[in-house]
Chains A and B, each alone.
Chain A
Amino acid sequence: MDVGSVLSILITSLMAMVPIVLTSVGAAWSERAGVVSIGYEGVLLMSAFFGAIFAELAHNAVVGLVGGILVGILLGMLHGALTVYLKGDHVIPGIGINLLAMGVVPFGILAYWGTAGQHQLPHDAQMWHIRTPYGELSPMVFVTIVIAIVTWWVLFKTPLGLRVRSVGENPEAADALGINVEKYRFWSAVYGHALAGLGGAFMSVDWLGLVHKTMSGGRGFIALANMVFSGWNPLVSLIGGWLFGFFDALATWLAPKHIIPGQFILMLPYIMTIIIVAGIIGKARPPKWSGKPYKRE
C-alpha cells in the first residue's frame, strides 16, 4: 500500500465518518436521557431525500442540510410523543420509521423526479469541497468534530447535561429534585434525531451528491453499534465513528484486490461491538432507565 492510497483511504474515511458520528452522538445524548430509538436508519434515509429537495429548491446545499435537520426534528417529535408522553414502547416506532423510509424514499424519488431508484443532484445544490490531490474533503467534517466535542462538553460538564443524564439514570430522583423528566426526555429525543437528520442530508447534498433509495446502507445501525461501542460517550464515538468509517473505506479499497473478502471487513465493527458489550474486552453499560417509560406515582 503506497502513501497515496493510505491518504485517500483516510480522506474517504473522514467523509464516511460524518453521518455515523452525527447519528451516534445524537443517539448517545437521547439514550443518556433514557429514550431509545432504532429508527435512525429511516431518519438518515428520509432526511437525505428531503434535504436534497430543499437544496434543489433553494439552489443552496446549506438549506438542504437545514432541511435534513427539520426532518430529523419532526421524526424526533413523533418518537418523543409516542415514547415519552404516551409511554409507548421505544423500539416499535423506530421499526415503523425504518419501514416508512423504505417506502417514502423510493416512492418519492419516482414521484418527484420521475427517475427510478436514483437521482443526481445538480451542481448548485451540492456543497463545496476542499480539494486535495487524494480526494475531496467537506467542511462538514470539521462541523461534525465540533458538534461531537460540544455535545460531550454539555453532557458531562454543564448543569444541563447533568440534568439530561439524571433523567436517564434515575428519573425518580430527578423528578424529586424538580426536574421535568418528560420535557428533558422529549427534547433529548428531538436533538438525537435532529443530528441524524443533519447526517442524512450530508450524505445527499454534500458527500455523494445524489439520492439513492438504499443510500443509508445500514449506517443508522452502524451508528447504534458505535454508540454502544463508545460507551454512550460522544467524544469516544468520534473516534469510534472514524474507525467505522475507516473499515468502510478499507472494504471498498480492498474489494477489487481479492485479498480478504470485503464482507469480512464490513463485519468487523459489529463483531467488535458484540465483544465489547459481552464484556470480553472493556465494558459497556447502558443508562439505567434507558428505554423504560417513566410514570409519576
Chain B
Amino acid sequence: MKRSGSELLKSLNVRPFIESLIAIFVGFLIGAIVLLAFGYNPFEAYYWLFQGALGSTYGIASTLRYATPIMLTALTFAVGTRTGIFNIGAESSFYFGAIAAVIFTNVWDNMWFGLAMGMLLGALWALPAAVLKVYRGVHEVISTIMLNWIGWFFVLWLIVGPYANPNDPNKTIRIPVAARLPEIGYGLSIAIIIAVIAALLTYFLLWHTTMGFGMRASGMNEKAARYAGMNPKVAVMWSFLIGGLLSGLGGAMKIMGEGPGYAISQGGANIYGFGFDGIGVALVGRNHPLGIILSAIFFGMLRAGTALMQAQAHVPLEIIKVIQGIIVITVAIPSLYDLVKKAIHRGAA
C-alpha cells in the first residue's frame, strides 16, 4: 500500500499542475477583457458563474452532472496520449455509446446491459482507426476525424430514421424506466460515481499493471519498448479499444442518466461536442486520470454556472467557450511554467 502511495505521488507532478492553473488564469483574464470590450462587468459575470456552480446544492449537483461525460471523453484522449497516440475519436465513440443505450435498453430494459452495449459499440467504432494505424500506418488524427463525421451522419440518420420516437419524430425513443440510472438527487445520477470509478480504474491500469506499463512504455519510446520485448502494436490496439469503451460508456450514461427526456434530442444536440470538450479537459488535467477528475469538475463548474450568469449578469453563456478555447491554446504553449517564471523574474528585477 505504501509503495502505491509513493508511486501515486511520483506520477503527479507539481509543475504541470501550476501550468494548468496559469492557463486557467489566462483564460479568465482574456475572458474578462472580452467581456469588458462588449460592455459587460466581468466581476459580476464571474461572481454569478461561481455562485451558480457552487452556491447551492443544486449548483453542485449540476457541476457534477456536467463533469460526467467530459471526464470519460477526456480519459479516452489521455489513454491515447499516454500510449503515444493522438486519439481524437472520442467524439464519435460517444455518439455510438448513446445510440447503443437507446437501441439495446429497448431490447432488454436492464441498466447494466445498456451500459455494456454502450461500451461495446464505443470500442467497436474505435477499431477501424486502430486497424488503419497498425496495419496501414494511417495517422490517427486523419482517420479519427473522418470516423467522427461518418459516425455523426450515421447516428443522425438513426435518430430521425429507425429509432425516431413515433410520438415526437425529432427525438429518439426513450430509455425504458427500468434501465435508467438511479438518481442521487437534484438531477444528478450515479453516472458521476461510475465515471470516477472509471478514472480510478484507468489510473490503476496504466500505472499498476504490466499491460499498462507496456502501453506507457510504447508511448514514451516505441523503439525502446520493442527492444524490451513489448509489442507496440498490441499497445496501440488496446489504447484505441479502451479509449472507445470509455467514451461509449460516457455516451450511454449521458442518455440513461439525464432526465427528463432520457432520449437523444433533435439533431443530436445533447450528444454533440463532448469529445472535443474532453480534449480540453484532458489537457488541463495533464492526461492523468486523477488530474482529469479535477479538471472535469472545473469545466463542469463553468458549464453549470452559465444559467445563473446569464440570468443575473445578462452575459451570453458562450463566453465560457471563449474561456475554454483560450485555456486550451494556453496549455498548448510548451514550457509555459518556465516562460512565466522568466517573465516574473524579469518583472521583479
Contact = CB atoms under 8 A, between A and B. Distances in A.
Given A92-B283, A100-B321, A267-B149, A78 B329 contact: yes
Interface in A29-71: 36, 38, 42
B321 to A, nearest CB: 3
A38 B38 CA distance: 29
B330 to A, nearest CB: 8
A193 B282 CA distance: 26
Nearest to B131: A278
B136 A91 contact: no
A191 to B, nearest CB: 21
Given A104-B322, A107-B322, A277 B138 contact: yes
B38 A111 contact: yes
Interface string B308-332: 0000000010111111111111111
B132 A266 contact: no
Interface stretch (A82-90, A141-149, A159-167, A198-206): A82-90
A270 B326 CA distance: 29
Contacts of B316: 106-107, 110-111
Contacts of B39: 111
Interface residues of A, number: 47
Given A96-B325, A100-B325, A110 B318 contact: yes
Contacts of B154: 263, 267
B157 A100 contact: no
A134 B188 CA distance: 54
B332 A266 contact: no
Given A263-B154, A263-B156, A274 B132 contact: yes
Contact of B157 (A101, A218, A261): A261
Contact of A88 (B88, B142, B149, B333): B333
> Which one of B128, B147, B150, B279 has the greatest number of beta carbons of chain A within 10 Å?
B150
B326 A96 contact: yes
Nearest to A107: B318
Nearest to A227: B142
B153 A96 contact: no
| Majority-rule SS of A interface residues | helix
A270 B150 contact: yes
A150 to B, nearest CB: 27
Contacts of B153: 263-264, 266-267
Contacts of A99: 276-277, 280, 321, 324-325, 328
A34 B204 CA distance: 37
Contacts of B132: 274, 277-278
B332 A96 contact: yes
A245 to B, nearest CB: 16
Nearest to A273: B146
A89 B332 contact: yes
B322 A103 contact: yes
B149 A101 contact: no
Interface string B162-187: 00000000000000000000000000
Interface in B244-282: 273, 276-277, 279-280
Given A82-B329, A107-B38, 13 more contacts: A88-B332, A91-B86, A96-B332, A99-B277, A104-B325, A107-B322, A110-B316, A110-B318, A112-B38, A218-B149, A221-B148, A221-B149, A228-B142
Please provide the 10 A-B residue pairs with the shortest distance between their CB atoms, ordered closest to farther: A103-B321, A100-B325, A96-B329, A96-B328, A103-B322, A99-B325, A107-B318, A263-B157, A263-B153, A111-B38
14 contacts: A86-B333, A91-B86, A92-B331, A95-B276, A100-B322, A100-B325, A107-B38, A107-B316, A111-B39, A222-B149, A274-B132, A274-B150, A277-B136, A279-B136
Interface of B: 34, 38-40, 86, 88, 128, 132, 136, 138-139, 141-143, 145-150, 153-154, 156-157, 161, 273, 276-277, 279-280, 283, 316, 318-334
Interface of A: 36, 38, 42, 78, 82, 86-89, 91-93, 95-107, 110-112, 218, 221-222, 224-225, 228, 261, 263-264, 266-267, 270-271, 273-274, 277-279, 286
